[in-house]
Amino acid sequence: TSSQFYTFRAQTQYAHEFGKHAVDVLAGFEYRQTHTKTDDNLLYGYNHQTQTNQNLQTDWAFLNNPTVGVLGSNYTPSGALTDFDTSDVLHRYYSYYFTANYVYNKLYSLFASYRVDNTDLFGTDPKFRRRPLWSVGASWNIQNEEFMKPYTWVNALKLRASYGLTGNIDSGATSYLTASFGTNVYNGGLVGYLDTPPNDQLRWEKTQTWNVGVDFAFFGYRLNGSVDFYRKLGSDLLTMTDLDPTTG
């Protein structure tokens, strides 16, 4: 197996504080490519010193024949024929992203993120390509409020809330028709297998997440922790399903 991975990223960031305000903005672009080639050869009787092998000529198909009954019809030989497999998998991804944070007087914070990913794993239907993933949120640093100053044992107390849409790519799926070819173990002929049908509507497996939480630290940070309430909702998930055998 040989693999090549390339990543190129360019980004810019701007951060500035003026008075009671603070802003931090970041934008960037990323390109990735993964290329994996595999050659798998199964050899029986292999000698690692001489780098030679022995071809076994036993007729396992005949011995497994129920009418012969020598080994039984359910017997699977540990090695009868050589096997060779090769694969060449190339994927490309390019993305652009944006994040922004705003803080007022070290009390109130707003943040947002936006990202668009493109890859050959998505379908060719335009309405399912270049769909953005994004999130927004806000937080309140309660310990910095004037009314909290008498409570010196409170070191940190933050209330936060967020909503976002994230995505997952199943690299085992493809929008194109794929097939595998091999050798028939009985007669040595070439055989083909349909692996995946074409799917022009292949898209993100999406997850919507709502989250509300509290972060706290008391008594010189001796007692600290977080409490979260969240809800996740998945959509467009990929799964195995049975086809109606009557459709052919």
Residue 93 counted as domain residue: yes
On whether residue 67 sits in a domain, the answer given is no
Average pLDDT, the chain: 81
Phi (first) and psi of residue 62, to 5 degrees: -70, -45
* Cβ neighbours of residue 135 closer than 8 Å, sequence gap 6 or more: 112, 113, 162, 163, 164, 165, 166
* Residue 56 clears pLDDT 70, i.e. is over it: no
Q: Is residue 11 included in any domain, yes or no?
A: yes
Domain for residue 192, yes or no? yes
Residue 219 placed within a domain: yes
pLDDT tens-place string over residues 69-112:
444 444 444 444 445 667 788 888 889 999 999 999 999 999 99
* pTM over 0.95, yes/no: no
Confidence band for 26, pLDDT divided at 50, 70 and 90: very high
Q: Are 141 and 153 in contact (CB under 8 A)?
A: no
How many distinct structural domains can be found in the chain?
A: 1
Give 126's DSSP letter.
G
End-to-end CA distance of the chain: 37
- Two structure tokens written together for 53: 């092998």
Is position 76 within any domain? no
Domain of residue 152: give its range: 2-43+82-247
Q: What pairs with residue 37 in β-bridges? A: 2, 88
In a domain, 18, yes or no: yes
- Tell me what pLDDT residue 44 has: 64
Provide the pLDDT for residue 235: 84
In-domain check, residue 17: yes
